[in-house]
Amino acid sequence: MDEARFGLINWHKRRYGPKGIRPPWIVRRDYEWMWLYAALEPATGESFCLYLPHLDGVCYELFLQKLSQCYPDDIIILIRDNAPAHIKQDIKLAQTILPLALPPYSPELNPVERWFLEFRRTLANRSFDTITDFQEALTAILKSYWQDPAALKQLSNFPWWHQAVNQL
């Protein structure tokens, strides 16, 4: 699991145009944000996502509560980074959630980061008037992965990841 900040300031990727003419860029400078908290199962492509307003211990704890409610009969090994909100001492974890921390400074080991990269690529060079419009566009991308879990599995189920989970 991890979370990513998304907002009205867009990302840019290369654009092509006729030689000698600079392609136009759509630029927004409205500072409005929301956070997408996401957990995924690389072996199956199943995912759980929640939009929340902040990155803090309260929102993180709410995400974990909703995750455990969604999977009440499963034991969840929650791979997480060492963000301050994740390692806060007074967070109440459900008994079915077992946290496992990634080594420091290693976001490339977290499969959900690869998913966030795809969101940013898809939404690059686009501008949105409101955060609600942005959420609708992001939700449409999420739905494509929910309808086709094999695509998420292909994106996140690295062979070394699958071997490590099987050894646990």
Which comes out higher in pLDDT, residue 23 or 121? 121
Question: Whole-model pTM?
Answer: 0.83
Which comes out higher in pLDDT, residue 156 or 138? 138
CATH code, 2-150: 3.30.420.10
Q: Which two tokens stand for residue 151?
A: 């695509």
Compute the Cα dihedral for 55, 81, 152, 70 and give only its sign: negative
Contact 149, 46 (CB under 8 A): yes
CA distance 119 to 52: 17
What is the pLDDT confidence band of residue 27, given thresholds at 50, 70 and 90? low
Indicate whether 19 pLDDT > 70: yes
Query: For 39-75, how does the pLDDT look when each residue is reduced to its tens digit (9 = 90+)?
Result: 999 888 999 999 999 888 889 999 999 999 999 999 9
Which comes out higher in pLDDT, residue 81 or 9? 81
Return the pLDDT at 52: 93
Return the pLDDT at 91: 81
Average pLDDT in the chain: 84
CA distance 74 to 66: 13
CA distance 42 to 21: 43
